[in-house]
């Protein structure tokens, strides 16, 4: 098969590595890709939102399957566009991708079908949101811009002043653009977070190995929310008992609810869960693989990814035995100083060659590119994800941190406590 992967982050590097491992893939293209993906695929300079150009490329290169796992193109209908052009694509159609694209939609879905989540109210104007905060709210409280905001449209506000500032930022100043036309205000939950990713075929789902992300920029969960600073898999807190509760109260009910709504979900459904004292609840849904969850989940997957994707598209996922290795993985993200706010680009990355060819260490590139002299330089906030595999979480973590020491670029930073929770398990 000839496959076209659409995207160019650390998640896509991990997906590309799985695709290359598949016995069905002869040739892999990636649009736009990055400097790391370029080692295993042919990168094509087309951006993820240029649907017409991507479709032309797929047709002219006789692509058998396209794969997209990024929120913006999925929510904008890339799957529908490819299908309308008669092309095969793995991903979620627009009418189902709304489960990530609109937090108001997902909250209403959960309420309608009794899926456990934080209590909430939805507002379409700032005055009523402010009135609610002044008269009915208890603090801390969580404000969420309705639409896509690069994972940054969620504000946790400790008191009324912070919450009023938040309403202004999201709804009046439009810090996240039109994503802030509607606002979800929801109850603050406490508990451990787990990322549960599932392949879904419209009716059935198969759960991948669990993982946990670290969303704040700084050690000890301090600083701003980011796209994710590191992950580990499996989560020792996601026990078989908890999984059973989630199967019955969250996973299958969500897949069934989407089908009942006439929005059958096909692709990868990401359940962001909080294990609260009152049981597991949904924090968010994403319509795609997580980043950097994918960088610890896919290296552990033993099944052939093409066979699983085809089963999702054919509605035969129930016939698949989805297999993961009985090991563990830890990924530490190396980021540019100043991320997630302002940071410089174009810094030469040193030390990558020292980590090449080690089977249990994978350096997934996120924001990297080649400069005019052929050096690999930084081109984004999250630059690399260094993943190590080991027989257990502690071994994987030690190896990941040893590997990170080999890498350097000007103003690089990373969290030192990825996987610290393992010690409490
Ligand atoms: P989201 O983009 O919805 O995943 O939110 C980003 C992060 O904000 C989550 O991973 C949580 O750490 C936190 N968060 C979101 N909603 C809540 C909530 N209701 N209670 C506590 N923390 C939350
Ligand atoms: N790591 C969080 C996400 O992919 O949304």
Over residues 244-254, mean pLDDT: 98
Average pLDDT, stretch 293-303? 98
Judged against a pLDDT cut of 80, whether residue 150 lies above it is answered with no
pLDDT band at 152 (very low <50, low <70, confident <90, very high): confident
234: preceding bond cis by omega (within 30 degrees): yes
Kindly report whether the global pTM for this prediction surpasses the value 0.75.
Answer: yes
**How distant, in Å, are the alpha carbons of 109, 113, 175, 284, 304 from that of 150?**
22, 27, 12, 14, 30
Is the Cβ atom of 118 under 6 angstroms away from ligand 1? yes
CA-nearest residue, atom 19 of ligand 1: 188
Cα three-residue angle 178-181-186, rounded to 5 degrees: 120
User: Residue written as tokens 């240029």?
Assistant: 50
Distance CA 181, CA 193 (A): 28
- Nearest residue (CA) to ligand 2, atom 3: 290
For residues 201 and 259, give the distance between their C-alpha atoms in angstroms, rounded to a whole number: 10
What value does the mean pLDDT take over residues 63-92? 98
Mean pLDDT of the region 68-81: 98
Dump pLDDT digits (tens) for 255-282.
999 999 999 999 999 999 999 999 999 9
pLDDT of amino acid 354:
97
Distance 50 CA to ligand 1 centre (A): 31
CA–CA dist 109, 184 (Å, integer): 14
Atom of ligand 2 nearest to the CA of 213: 1
Q: What is the pLDDT of residue 425?
A: 82
The pLDDT mean for the chain works out to 97
Q: How far apart are CA 99 and CA 267, in angstroms?
A: 12
Query: Which residues pair with residue 286 across a beta bridge?
Result: 270
How many angstroms is it from 227 CA to the middle of ligand 2? 6
Task: Give residue 403's pLDDT.
Answer: 98
189 lines ligand 1 (CB under 6 A): yes
Average pLDDT over residues 325-343: 97
Helix (H), strand (E) at residue 362: strand 361-365
pLDDT at position 1:
98
Once rounded to an integer, what is the mean pLDDT over residues 110-122?
Answer: 97
- Using the atom order of ligand 2, give the atom closest to the CA of residue 151: 5
Which ligand sits nearest to residue 286's alpha carbon? 2
Distances (CA, A) of 406 to 188, 309, 423: 40, 35, 25
Please say if the pLDDT value at position 151 is more than 80.
no
Q: Is residue 338's pLDDT more than 90?
A: yes
Spacing, Cα 57 to ligand 2 middle (Å): 29
For residue 140, how far is its CA from the centre of ligand 1 (angstroms)?
A: 12
Cβ of residue 231 lying under 6 Å from some atom of ligand 2: no
Residues contacting 275, CB < 8 A, separation 6+: 191, 192, 193, 194, 237, 238, 242
- What are the tokens at 378? 């930084």
What pLDDT score does 293 carry?
98
In order, the DSSP letters of 124-169 are SSHHHHHHHHHHT--SSEEEEESS--TT--EEEESSHHHHHHHHII
Residues 179-193 have a mean pLDDT of 96
Ligand 1 site-directed mutation target among 155, 194, 231, 284, most atoms within 8 Å of CB: 284
**124-148 pLDDT per residue, tens:** 999 999 999 999 999 999 999 999 9
List pLDDT tens digits, range 228-248. 999 999 999 999 999 999 999
Could you report the per-residue pLDDT of 13-42, keeping only the tens digit for each? 999 999 999 999 999 999 999 999 999 999
Distance 266 CA to ligand 2 centre (A): 19
Which ligand number lies closest to the CA of residue 158? 1
Q: pLDDT digit string (tens) for 345-361? A: 999 999 999 999 998 99
Phi-psi region of 257 (alpha: psi -120 to 50; beta: other; left: phi over 0): alpha
pLDDT of residue 121: 95
Q: What is the pLDDT of residue 153?
A: 87
Give pLDDT, residue 228. Answer: 94
Whole-angstrom Cα distance, residue 9 to residue 380? 10
Model confidence band, residue 225 (pLDDT cutoffs 50, 70, 90): confident
Burial of 132 (0-12, 13-18, 19+ CB in 10 A): middle
Residue 387 has pLDDT above 80, yes or no: yes
Cα of 147 to ligand 2 centre, how many Å?
15
Question: How many A from CA of 135 to the centre of ligand 2?
Answer: 33
């Amino acid at each position: 098969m000839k496959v076209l992967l659409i995207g160019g982050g650390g998640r896509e590097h991990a997906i590309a590595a799985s695709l290359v491992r598949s016995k069905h893939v002869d040739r892999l293209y990636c649009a736009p890709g990055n400097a790391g993906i370029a080692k295993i695929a042919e990168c094509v300079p087309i951006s993820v939102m240029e649907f017409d150009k991507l479709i032309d490329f797929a047709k002219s290169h006789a692509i058998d399957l396209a794969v997209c796992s990024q929120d913006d193109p999925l929510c904008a209908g890339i799957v529908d566009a490819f299908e309308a052009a008669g092309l095969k694509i793995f991903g979620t159609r627009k009418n189902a991708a709304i489960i990530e694209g609109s937090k108001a939609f997902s909250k209403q879905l959960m309420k309608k079908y009794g899926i456990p989540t934080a209590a909430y109210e939805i507002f379409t104007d700032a005055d009523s949101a402010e009135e609610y905060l002044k008269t009915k709210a208890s603090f801390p409280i969580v404000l969420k811009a309705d639409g896509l905001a690069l994972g940054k449209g969620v504000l946790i506000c400790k008191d009324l002043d912070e919450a009023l500032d938040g309403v202004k930022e999201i709804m009046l100043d439009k810090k996240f653009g039109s994503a802030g036309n509607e606002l979800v205000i929801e109850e603050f939950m406490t508990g451990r977070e787990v990322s549960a990713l599932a392949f879904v075929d419209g009716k059935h789902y198969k759960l991948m190995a669990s993982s946990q992300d670290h969303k704040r920029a700084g050690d000890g969960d301090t600083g701003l929310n980011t796209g994710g600073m590191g992950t580990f898999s499996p989560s020792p807190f996601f026990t078989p008992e908890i999984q059973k509760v989630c199967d019955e109260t969250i996973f299958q009910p969500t897949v069934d609810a989407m089908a009942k709504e006439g929005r059958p979900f096909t692709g990868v459904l990401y359940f962001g869960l909080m294990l609260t004292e009152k049981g597991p609840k949904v924090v968010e849904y994403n319509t795609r693989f997580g980043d950097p969850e994918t960088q610890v989940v896919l290296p552990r997957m033993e099944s052939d990814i093409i066979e699983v994707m085809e089963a999702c598209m054919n509605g035969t996922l129930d016939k698949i035995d989805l297999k993961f290795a009985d090991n563990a993985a830890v990924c530490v993200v190396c980021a540019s100083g100043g991320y997630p706010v302002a940071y410089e680009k174009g810094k030469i990355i040193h030390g990558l060659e020292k980590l090449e060819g080690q089977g249990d260490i994978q350096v997934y590139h996120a924001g990297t590119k080649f400069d005019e002299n052929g050096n690999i330089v930084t081109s984004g906030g999250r630059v690399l994800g260094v993943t190590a595999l080991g027989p257990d979480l502690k071994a994987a973590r030690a190896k990941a941190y040893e590997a990170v020491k080999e890498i350097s670029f000007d103003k690089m930073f990373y969290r030192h406590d990825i996987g610290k929770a393992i010690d409490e398990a």
